[in-house]
Amino acid sequence: MSPTNTMTLRRVISIIAEHLLLGISMALLIPPVPSMEGEEYSFIPMCIPMLVFLIASRALAILREEETWLGLIMKAALFTALGFAINFRVFF
C-alpha cells in the first residue's frame, strides 16, 4: 500500500479540523438579525473572521497537498462575493 493512501491519525485530525473551520466560516456568512426596524449591520466585521476561518481551513488542505494557492485565492474571492450578496440581499 502506498503512503499516500494511508489515513494516519494526523491526517484524519487535519481533515476534521479543516471541516470544522469551514463550517465556522460558513456560519459567519449568515448576517445578524436586526432587533429594530431600519437597523443595518456592516459587512466588514463579519467578513474578516469569515475569511480568517476560510483561509485557515484551506491552509490545512494546502499542507496536505490537496489544494493550491490559486484555489485558495479564488475560493476566498468567491466566498467574499457570496457573503456580500447575502448581506446586500438582507439589508437592501
Q: List pLDDT tens digits, range 32-57.
A: 877 788 777 888 888 899 999 999 99
The residue to which cell 494557492 is assigned: 69
Q: Give the separation between CA 30 and CA 87, rounded to whole angstroms.
A: 8
Q: List pLDDT tens digits, range 7-22.
A: 788 888 999 999 999 9
Residue 3 placed within a domain = no
Residue span of the structural domain in which 66 resides: 42-92
Q: What is the reported pLDDT for 56?
A: 93
Contact of 25 with 54, CB cutoff 8 Å: yes
Here the cell at position 60 is 490545512
Q: Which of 7, 21, 29 is nearest to 60 (CA)?
A: 21
Is residue 1 pLDDT above 50, yes or no? Answer: no
Residue 71 placed within a domain = yes
Q: Kindly report the backbone phi and psi dihedral angles of residue 82, in degrees, each rounded to the nearest multiple of 5, phi listed first.
A: -65, -45
Q: What is the reported pLDDT for 6?
A: 66
Q: What is the reported pLDDT for 4?
A: 58
Domains: count for the chain: 1
Residue 35 placed within a domain = no
Rounded percentage of the chain residues whose pLDDT exceeds 90: 45
